[in-house]
Amino acid sequence: MKPKLKVECVDCNTPAVAAETLPASEAEWKNKLTPEQFYILRQKGTEHPYTGKLLHHKGDGFYACAGCGQKLYDSKTKYDACGWPSFWDAVPGAVDKHPDLEATCSKCGGHLGHIFDDGPPPTGKRH
The verdict on residue 123 lying in a domain is no
Q: What is the pLDDT along the chain (127 residues), one digit of tens a residue?
A: 433 333 444 444 445 666 668 998 999 999 999 999 999 999 999 989 999 888 888 889 999 999 999 999 999 999 998 889 999 999 999 999 999 999 999 999 999 999 999 999 999 999 9
| Rg of the chain (C-alpha set) | 14
The verdict on residue 79 lying in a domain is yes
- Per the structure, the complete domain to which residue 46 belongs is given by 4-114
The verdict on residue 120 lying in a domain is no
Question: What pLDDT sits at residue 15?
Answer: 54
Q: How many domains does one find in the chain?
A: 1
The verdict on residue 89 lying in a domain is yes
The verdict on residue 127 lying in a domain is no
The verdict on residue 87 lying in a domain is yes
Residues across the chain: 127
The verdict on residue 28 lying in a domain is yes
The verdict on residue 122 lying in a domain is no
CATH number at residue 15: 2.170.150.20
Question: What pLDDT sits at residue 2?
Answer: 38
Question: What pLDDT sits at residue 53?
Answer: 86
Question: What pLDDT sits at residue 16?
Answer: 61
